[in-house]
Amino acid sequence: MDLARVVGTVVSVVKDPQLVGIKLLLIRPVDPQGQFTGSAMIALDAIGAGPGETVFYVTGKEASFAFLPEHVPADVSVVAIVDHVDESTDARGKRRQT
């Protein structure tokens, strides 16, 4: 799973019936320091997140697991709001022999 910030919402009238009633978020991946690292994508909201919040999202078929027993045709879902990330001291690039 990757970190992202919610940066908007998406409005769609004509859509797959299983997507009806699910909030669509526009999210952008961020690194643990909150800086954008990738392009915006559309995600289903499984937990009630909103613009400005840092979240993490799941991709692939497992994105639809948050909506079981429905088999929602979706490949990105926001599944948690992140309170904080604890990085250990060697997390940002210092080499360590294993």
Closest CB 45 distance from its own copies, rounded Å: 11
With contact defined as beta carbons under 8 Å apart, do 78 and 44 qualify?
Answer: yes
CA atoms of 48 and 69, how far apart (whole Å): 19
Shortest Cβ distance from residue 38 to its own copies (Å)? 10
CB of 97 to its own copies, least distance (A): 5
Pairing of strands 76-81, 41-45: parallel
